[in-house]
Amino acid sequence: MTMALRDLVRHNFWLKLSSVFLATVVWFVIKYGSLSDTGIGHVPILNPVVQDNVEVLVRVLKHPGDARIFKVTPETIEIMITGESAILRKFSKEDFKAYVELANARPLPSTNQEVRLHVPQGVTVLNASPRAVVVEQVSP
């Protein structure tokens, strides 16, 4: 039995050793390559480009001394984004910003304003709905 086990190990030894080595390399590529930002993480098979939808609260951007209060309708917009899977996994809903700029706006009771977006680097906006919101001044 001892001789048979020795022959089992020695028969095609280099082929067996190279198979173990190759399996280890493949395991490392899958395990660590898909988590990195550079190098093998950008291989499309391991890190595909995906689409996602994010619902974001629309904020009002105004001068710090401006005491006016505004109501935004609708309060949220939906942003369709795309990017590499590993990059999108890093971000949460709070990393995406939607706002209307009223710093230079004249005092009006109600106005349509275009929504501006700020998204993290590596993320592409495909669509935002709606693109404009109604902003009403609640208090003077």
Residue 106 lies in a domain: yes
Q: Which structural domain, as residue segments, surrounds residue 100?
A: 49-139
Express each pLDDT in 48-107 by its tens digit.
Answer: 788 889 999 999 988 888 888 889 999 999 999 998 888 888 888 899 999 998 877 666
Task: Report how many domains make up the chain.
Answer: 2
Residue 81 lies in a domain: yes
Q: What is the pLDDT of residue 49?
A: 82
- Three-state DSSP class for residue 127: strand
Q: Which of 25, 105, 110, 106 is nearest to 61 (CA)?
A: 105
Q: Which of 20, 31, 53, 71 is nearest to 129 (CA)?
A: 53
Say if CB 99 and CB 75 are below 8 A apart.
no
Residue 109 lies in a domain: yes
pTM for this one? 0.61
Q: Which of 30, 121, 129 is nearest to 84 (CA)?
A: 121
Same domain assignment for residues 75 and 12: no
Same domain assignment for residues 23 and 63: no
**Within 13 Å of residue 13, how many CA atoms lie on the same side as its CB?**
5
Same domain assignment for residues 62 and 6: no
Containing H/E element for 131?
Answer: none
